[in-house]
Chain A
Amino acid sequence: MRILVADDHDIIRRGLKELLASRAGWEVCAEAKTGREAVTLAEQLRPDVVVMDISMPDLNGLEAARKIRKSLPKTEILILTLHFSDQLVREIVEAGVRAYIMKSDADRDLVAAVEALGNHRPFFTARAADMLLDGFVRPHAASPDPDAVIRNRLTSREREIVQLLAEGKSSKEVAVSLGISVKTAETHRANIMRKLELHSVSELVRYAVRNQIIEA
């Protein structure tokens, strides 16, 4: 089984590799430091499983997962996080991620989760499953109008731009980074602020931290 490991921290990548190396027949075929690197390497190498941190610079794990699942539907994805988020668990599942574990529990859960994914079975701890079920029992409890929720849902491109703006990039830098015009970048930015009902970059940064798009 071939595994791609993505985390922006050298020490964590090394630790994940050591934990995965305990299984014969498992090979870490590549390492990525950002979500964008993970997407590129996954498309080149077509690994069986991607083990990925949720908070990474440039493109976070959630967005990278969406892209990988879109181009490689057979590749299974595991997301690692420092803290479970009941707001994110549903998005994570909707992105096609089929295992969600805490970094603090990696020694207990990582090998079991990758093994499950290798057999195309999902892996969720009881706590993650509870949060996920809660989300389906009370869908969008905060917003009573489902049409508004769908209308205000960010597109994949917009979510990418939220991260770049929250990392301090200007509209021009966003445009260069994504190969789009400055005018398009500015339009995306305006749409993001309207959909999220935000009025300043500092509010956008707070949103990004709260949703684990960037680290605090």
Chain B
Amino acid sequence: MPRVLIVDDHAVIRRGVQGILSTYPEWDLCGEADNGQDAIRLAGELAPEVVIMDVSMPGMNGLEATRIIHDVLPETKVLLLTLHSSSEFVRSAFRAGARGYVLKSDAENELVRALNVVIGEGTYVSPAIDARAAKESIFYNN
């Protein structure tokens, strides 16, 4: 069963992700963190298959944490879950090693779809992101 670590400074988002995953028994929420440093520490301890990561957090932000997790645990897929839809952010995310990019405004099933894609070694970008910018961001890295 793939294990997921959720990282967000807002408890309401962590609870939301927990609620969504509880309806999909094939996913196991193994831990949660509310900042980048704890995310790195917990990812090291738990070696989850996927980290769902917020971008804007106090202290170390999600992009920096993504970069480090990607370096240290190349098998762990990082899926960003954020309010920011600008193509600049999408580019930075993939440059940092993220495998997926989902918006907090997306529907619930978008998050689950993204989890399934990244666990299957694919790359996922929210359909709400400008398609051309999304393609450029991914090609830039491959």
- How many positions in chain A have a CB within 8 Å of any CB in the partner chain? 17
Q: A11-B16, A18-B15 are in contact. Are A106 and B10 (CB under 8 A)?
A: yes
User: B10 and A14: CB pair below 8 A?
Assistant: no
Within 8 A of A (CB), among B2-55: 9-20
CA–CA, A19 to B20, complex, Å?
13
Interface string of A84-121 (1 = CB under 8 A from B): 00000000000000000001101100100000000000
B14: chain A residues at CB < 8 Å are 15
Q: A17-B19, A18-B18 are in contact. Are A10 and B12 (CB under 8 A)?
A: no
User: A11 and B11: CB pair below 8 A?
Assistant: no
Main SS at interface, chain B = helix
Q: A17-B19, A18-B19 are in contact. Are A12 and B12 (CB under 8 A)?
A: yes
CA–CA, A14 to B14, complex, Å?
10
**A59 interface residue per 8 A CB criterion:** no
- How many positions in chain B have a CB within 8 Å of any CB in the partner chain? 19
A9: chain B residues at CB < 8 Å are 104-105
CA–CA, A129 to B35, complex, Å?
29
**B107 interface residue per 8 A CB criterion:** yes
* Most chain A C-beta atoms within 10 Å of own C-beta, residue among B12, B14, B20: B12
Main SS at interface, chain A = helix
A104: chain B residues at CB < 8 Å are 9-10
Interface string of B68-96 (1 = CB under 8 A from A): 00000000000001000000000000000
User: B15 and A15: CB pair below 8 A?
Assistant: yes
CA–CA, A16 to B16, complex, Å?
7
User: A12 and B11: CB pair below 8 A?
Assistant: no
**B111 interface residue per 8 A CB criterion:** yes
**B136 interface residue per 8 A CB criterion:** no
Which of A8, A12, A17, A110 contacts B13 (CB under 8 A)?
A12
How distant is B63 from chain A, measured CB to nearest CB, in Å? 19
Interface string of A1-42 (1 = CB under 8 A from B): 000000011111111111100000000000000000000000
**Residue on B nearest A10 in the bound complex, by CB:** B108
A8: chain B residues at CB < 8 Å are 105
**Residue on A nearest B102 in the bound complex, by CB:** A11
User: B16 and A15: CB pair below 8 A?
Assistant: yes
B105: chain A residues at CB < 8 Å are 8-9
12 A–B contacts, CB within 8 A, in A order: A10-B16, A11-B106, A12-B13, A12-B16, A14-B16, A15-B13, A15-B19, A16-B12, A18-B16, A18-B19, A103-B12, A107-B15
Question: Contact residues of B with A, CB < 8 Å?
Answer: 9-20, 81, 104-108, 111
Known: A11-B104, A12-B104. 18 other contacts (CB 8 A): A9-B105, A10-B16, A11-B17, A11-B81, A11-B106, A12-B13, A13-B16, A14-B16, A15-B10, A15-B15, A15-B19, A16-B12, A16-B15, A18-B18, A19-B15, A106-B10, A107-B11, A110-B12
Question: Contact residues of A with B, CB < 8 Å?
Answer: 8-19, 103-104, 106-107, 110
